[in-house]
Structure 1
């Protein structure tokens, strides 16, 4: 048995799944809540009433906690952001062993100031994108060793964008990845490069 086969047997890979329309509606509502939370300025009474409503929903969902790998959030490939509210609502439009292309847009929730996407959101996106390149390439579970981003232009919100990530080089356990994000006119908004290292059997 090869080292790669040993590794795959040691670590159960997260299996993708499809989110139901009901889950899709819930995640869409969560994203809307995130956008509203950072843009609303209600009075104290409405803050209080809203908190009570959200706490009630949390209490109901708390009864249905599931372990990692069972809960669908982050695994639902048919939903924006794979059904995870932390991830920007982008979706894969093309995927192969060498390259993964995604399309989507950022929203008010992702603003750092002046309707520009927060600089910290961009590395989060690329880290997620690089992980999908690892999976598409059929590589074993890996961790990010480094991630470097060059900001070329301000990244806008509510504008359709595209990101392409591809394998730059492979050296044993090391997978070097590059990526670019562009707008509809082809302007490069940012570029990234990173190193993904295959986990050893004893590494979490």
Structure 2
């Protein structure tokens, strides 16, 4: 590792009281599980079966809870949000983004929102886009080699309706940095380049011991 790269790692690791999260390798079964759970989320908000089917589905979900409950672990121990190769890093909370670019000058992710994210009239719920942008902001900070930061504010402008079942591209970059502060921008576009939404925010580096 070069001296410059080592310095970047050293700076990044100065991250207040935030725990150090490392990438996880839980095996292919976890990837299958996350894929199936994402599909289950879609069906949970779209299926309309007979009443007895809901009873059967509830029985199976309760069995799944019983299976996994003994293995509940602290944050940063379970693989969720720690498998970069999986959509949304393996976290069901996150939209299923995949990273296309991760450089100091900016980050690019691709995302395809499914039925689970519908807010109305088959459009992505407006509250989901700040979640996406906040995730992008965090990646931007990491890619730029800045220490762990918290979001101080995040402003979103909605330009067009964001569709589901369509491959979209989100881009983010640091617009300006000043001491502990990093002002960041992001945008979401469709395959034709149409601007769907854009965001700007302030990320502030944590102080030593700060959660």
Q: Is TM-score (shorter-chain normalized) higher than 0.5?
A: yes
Cα deviation digits, residues 114-149 of structure 1 (max 9, x gap)? 110000000011011111111112222211100000
Q: 1:141 to 1:6 in 2, by over 3 A?
A: closer
In structure 2, the partner of 1:56 is 63
Question: 2:142 aligned with 1:135, yes or no?
Answer: yes
Q: Which residue of 2 aligns with 1:157?
A: 164
- Whether the 8 Å CA contact 1:74–1:81 is kept in 2: the answer is yes
Cα pair 2:104 2:140 within 8 Å, conserved:
yes
Is 2:208 the counterpart of 1:167?
Answer: no
Instruction: Spell out, residue by residue over 1:79-126, the C-alpha distance to the aligned partner (whole angstroms, 9 max, x if none).
Output: 001000111111001101121100121010000011100000000110
TM-score by length of structure 1 reads 0.93
Matched, 1:66 2:104: no
Match of 1:124 in 2: 131
User: Would the aligned equivalents of 1:13 and 1:141 in 2 still touch at CA under 8 Å?
Assistant: no
Selected match of 2:85 from 78, 89, 103: 78
5+ residue gaps, structure 2, are 1-9
Q: How far apart, CA to CA, are the structure 2 residues paired with 1:169 and 1:18?
A: 35
Gaps of 5+ in 1: none
> TM-score, normalized by length of structure 2?
0.90
Q: Determine if the alignment matches structure 1 residue 192 to structure 2 residue 203.
A: no
Report 1 or 2 for greater relative contact order, CA contacts < 8 Å, sequence distance ≥ 6.
2
2:186 corresponds to: 179
- 1:106 aligns to 2:113 (yes or no): yes
- May I ask how many residue pairs the two structures share in their alignment? 202
Offset of 1:20 from its aligned partner? 2.5
